[in-house]
Chain A
Amino acid sequence: MKWSIVLLLPGAIAVAAEVPFERIRDAANDPGSWLTYSGTYSGQRYSPLAQINAANVSGLRPVWMYQLQKAGVFESSPIVADGVMYIVEPPTTVTALDLRSGRRLWSWTAKLPKDVKAIGFPQTNRGVAILDDKVFVATLDAHLVALDAKTGVKRWDVTVADNTTGHAMTLAPLAIDGRIIVGISGAEAGVRGFVDAYAADTGKQLWRFWTVPGPGEPGSETWQGESWVTGGGSTWLTGSYDPELKLLYWGIGNPAPDWNGDLRQGDNLYTCSLVALDPETGKRRWHFQFTPHDTHDWDANQIPILVDAAISGRMRKLVVSPNRNAFYYVLDRVTGEFLAGKAFAKQTWAKGLDVQGRPMVLPDTEPSEKGTLVWPSLQGAVNWYSPSYSPLTGWVYAAVREMGAYYYKTDADYVPGTPFLGGGEQALKGDQAWGAVRALEATTGEIKWEFPLHSPPWAGTMTTAGGLVFGGCNEGNFFALNQRSGKLLWEFQTGGPIRANPISFLIDGRQCVAIAGTHALFVFGLEGVPLQREFTSLRQ
């Protein structure tokens, strides 16, 4: 018998990924893959695949499942390239799966300190980035690590920030031309937030944008005294990117301490804002603040959606976002100009937005010692999970949380590496809260339809060219709705809460949809997708 291990059996062996920047930039032309967190740089979470559609989606069946090696909070959004799916198992284990069989190809686990700090959020991870021959993961203890995409071998590992002071990372990095962009978590521990860029080949730091300006920098006048030092403004979700305008769009989180703003009087820029950054230098081009001087933990980290659409008869390059504060915003993404805004969920804290998009805040909505009931709750009208957009309808699909909370205020002492909060909340839960998937007209925020959910959701949506919107809920149902009517077309009970975003891709030319469930990743396809391939026996 002659061995020829160099011989690749076509289709029988997963080929390893080579994903140059151009391929991610043009991901819309490569719908069989899912090459970046939101599918494309635009943050639309829209799959151009149309094999699964309103007429046949009722035939969607499980293709395979992958069960976590260890229980944890599973929020990973997979990356799919060249026959391999990359997920992150909580807290920080990168796993490569063979796309056809669901079998594990390799795993790499970050060596986290025993007393790793994740202050104010679960020990989770939202996925990897891929670029060229490497995958990139941001670890819970705030390292950025590059792994060989074929084998999981570590290529480099840099410390982004000190975990003992509460800096941590849970976001999927963003890979652009030669550089990896990441943000940081830790506002609940009073960190000073930033966005960082690292060279993809070496891990060398290229720039840092501080989300809280230091003395003398523009915006520093919006911070009282030394409060900027522990000002928060974390950047804990992935940004979007416009390769033509060469601008990064990154959402910025709440100021610290969260619920007691007494010692940080002022607007507290650039917390609860969206910033547009030059990817070469990290310089800020513009900013827009959604919630000035926030005292309700309404981070603005939601994935920015880049769309081009006509407003008053003129084509505009827009960035739109349903915000955690319950308002939907339409901005010009070249200039940051506010164009439109409207509440998309119950809110009791603002009379509305003024012409600049600034909220007209109502009295008696501040956290207090005895508790102040306000909608939305601190988990927001939306949270970290992704919205989506469909070019077929021109609508944004948001999973909305209808939940109020009593907000409390206490003293806040800054002790490095401990919670720096100044209060808390008691949310109205159970039968007093609910949720919905809502379709919003992208240029106005007008609600087109809603599909009610039993409780405020923690799962994102994905649209497809098949006219569908996929979503999930706490009760475990993974479902597909008609994009235009909101009608339920298909639903599958996964057996536990879903806290993740759906993606779509091809296995052997057949469209599939994947979602992370409580302790397992599920892949669905239409009947007829080869569940088990015929195997050529290798034992000859």
Chain B
Amino acid sequence: MQGLGGVGPSLARPVLTQAPDLASLLAVIDDGIRGTGMPSTWMLPKKDRRAIAGFVRTLGVAAEAPVAGDPARGRELFAKAACALCHTVDGQGGVKGPDLSEVGNRRGAARMRRMLTEPGAEMSANADGYAEFLPVRLTTIDGRVVEGLRVNEDGFTIQLRDLENRIHSFRKSEVNEVAKGFVQSIMPVFGSMFSATELDDVIAYLTTLRGKK
């Protein structure tokens, strides 16, 4: 294991934003991070949790593995491919996908690559495990069809945001069918649009997105 990650960010970096020192690292491992997918591990014996913390700290000693690719070119490609139609970076851009301003803190390179080559394989989920950008096609009892991303849902109601960002709220008693696109992310497949080097460039750029200092 190199600590380069699946869903989460690379842990092989000198400073962990959520856990700059040992005590806060132990707290993160014990309790998880509220509002994120980071689970709590209080179920593990304390000595195992300490061992995990120790291991994580050794990862940061090695310098962060450089990501192949040119971030400056990646930035241009990001603009050219109109990623900002759906993504916000530093306050600019769309909201059909997650804000990428700090994506470098949140995700590792491997996950970013998967996102670009096979979106839908691993859709963004919130801390409770619900898909955050779930495409939904809803048919009302009187035959109206509304498409959008799911904003929220309970057993009785559902709220969608359409491509113009209008909110549509339905009681389920008004609805005939709710079709959910669980493996159908609206994120386009960029694997074939970009060359291998271009893909590396875009990922290199995304990795630099760590929020404004």
Contact = CB atoms under 8 A, between A and B. Distances in A.
15 contacts: A408-B43, A411-B45, A419-B42, A419-B46, A424-B44, A425-B43, A426-B39, A430-B125, A430-B131, A431-B130, A432-B129, A451-B155, A475-B153, A477-B156, A491-B156
B128 interface: yes
Interface of B: 39, 41-46, 48, 125-126, 128-131, 134, 153-157, 173, 180, 182
B126 A453 contact: no
Given A425-B43, A426-B39, A430-B130, A454 B125 contact: no
B45 A430 contact: no
Given A424-B41, A454-B153, A488-B173, 14 more contacts: A410-B44, A419-B45, A423-B43, A426-B39, A430-B125, A430-B128, A431-B131, A432-B129, A433-B129, A454-B155, A475-B153, A475-B156, A477-B155, A491-B156
Contacts of A428: 129
A475 B43 contact: no
B129 A430 contact: yes
Contacts of B44: 410, 424
Contact of A413 (B45, B130, B155): B45
A490 to B, nearest CB: 10
B155 A429 contact: no
Contacts of B39: 426
B188 to A, nearest CB: 22
A210 B130 CA distance: 43
B45 A453 contact: no
Interface in A416-467: 418-419, 421, 423-426, 428-433, 451-455
A431 B129 contact: yes
Interface size class for chain A? Answer: 20 to 34
Interface in A383-429: 408, 410-413, 418-419, 421, 423-426, 428-429
Contacts of A382: none
B154 A477 contact: yes
Most buried by B among A412, A452, A455: A455
B128 A475 contact: no
B43 A479 contact: no
A259 to B, nearest CB: 8
A263 to B, nearest CB: 15
A154 to B, nearest CB: 34
B122 to A, nearest CB: 13
A476 interface: yes
